[in-house]
Amino acid sequence: MAYWEKEIRSLVGKAIHRYGLIQEGDRLLVGVSGGKDSLSLLHLLHERSKRVPIHYELLPVYIDLGFDSNRAEILKNFFEAKGFPYHIEFTDIGVRANSAENRENPCFLCSWERRKNLFRLATVLNAIRSPWDITKTIS
């Protein structure tokens, strides 16, 4: 294992322990965009779950923004290949954010609506807040 990978694993473990981010029996909603940050976090948390004395469940969630990309299908295949339970939420957030009525700040609306959906889904799917959101708050 490369030095940087050991270092990242160590820092993730220290943050989880120091701030009590994951407890026994937690069901963690992990917002996944398909990018390297969210997939790395999912990988680190999954890898960590195999070697720590507490049990927690990971629930990757992808919010499809409605741009007609095939990312949802790619992530569905990835989650199934890795054996993750998952949820894909289809929305029209991106279309609304870039509509004529919202030309001023499409990035804000898109980000706001995605985050709102993640919090709603955490409640609906009986999961706690995403560790990604929590660690963003800490840093």
Long-range contacts of 44-51 (CB under 8 A, 24+ apart): 44/8, 44/9, 44/12, 45/12, 45/131, 46/82, 46/84, 47/9, 48/9, 48/12, 48/13, 48/16
Q: What is the pLDDT of residue 133?
A: 52
Q: In the chain, which residues have pLDDT < 50?
A: 134-139
pTM of the model: 0.85
Residue in 48, 25, 58 with CA at minimum distance from that of residue 130: 58
pLDDT at 129 (0 to 100): 61
Domains of the chain: 25-138 (3.40.50.620)
Tens digit of each residue's pLDDT (9 = 90 or more) over 57-78: 999 999 999 987 899 999 999 9
**Does residue 127 contact residue 117 with C-beta atoms inside 8 Å?**
no
